[in-house]
Chain A
């Protein structure tokens, strides 16, 4: 057909063999991979389990008697009025006030 656009510069007789060949080689390599995949997952799972155990242990210790919650410390330091309003003097002047009131 005379109307046809000449695309011959874009043609490449070896393209099909090259690309299909590469794809099939990659597929053959990937087809052997499932065993490697499970090995990889297992090797990642072990450190992940250790990390999870550490996180659980730290959480348990922090929530237990070894380390009291910070709110308890604050309640001990701040005077009652300050605790009610959420405002008031900082812990050091409050302690000083308590000493003065006791005198």
Chain B
């Protein structure tokens, strides 16, 4: 059953059809949201909000064969809304920065948390389009053909963006590693 069929069934009141639809594209949504949010816990919340918004507005999805691109657009908009809200909260001093890596508990998770922090900081230095491509390809395993459809770019552009993103990310991660090494004890 293709996306258009699942959308039609969802609009007919079949919630299970919607669940099948969003599971099909969830990993892409998460990668794109994470590319904008840089915090795993917050990205999870934004994804959930985006899925609910997609359900509410599903009737407005005119080109049903391009549902994934439509869903990713909702994800990006939700992420931007969250970023604006976050900056407002910081501005009025309602909360401190609460990133997921700061809430890691057991020591066994510390190394993994450190790796997460390292990767997220590196990603934050890339352009959003580069982040989206590198996360879709390297984290979620999408092909260039699929990325091209999701992001509405050519396959050649997807390859180029991936190559640039990897090169830039390695540079940034190298810089971060160097700085952390300088800060450490002799």
List chain A positions with a Cβ less than 8 A from chain B: 3-7, 9-12, 15-16, 18-20, 22-24, 26-28, 30-31
Contact across chains for A7 and B44 when beta carbons are under 8 A apart: no
Cα–Cα, bound, A10→B141 (Å): 13
Apart from A16-B27, A19-B47, 4 more pairs, CB < 8 Å: A11-B139, A27-B18, A27-B51, A27-B55
Is B76's beta carbon under 8 Å from chain A? Answer: no
Contact across chains for A10 and B139 when beta carbons are under 8 A apart: yes
Contact across chains for A24 and B19 when beta carbons are under 8 A apart: yes
CB neighbours of B8 from chain A (8 A): none
List chain B positions with a Cβ less than 8 A from chain A: 15, 18-19, 22-23, 26-27, 30, 34, 40, 44, 47-48, 51-52, 55-56, 112, 115-116, 119-120, 134-135, 138-139, 166, 169-170
With A19-B47, A20-B22, A23-B22 as contacts: A5 and B52 at CB distance below 8 Å: no
Q: 24 pairs across A/B with beta carbons < 8 Å? A: A3-B166, A4-B138, A5-B134, A5-B138, A9-B112, A9-B116, A10-B40, A10-B116, A10-B139, A16-B26, A19-B26, A19-B30, A20-B26, A20-B51, A23-B52, A23-B55, A26-B48, A26-B52, A27-B18, A27-B51, A27-B55, A28-B15, A30-B52, A31-B15
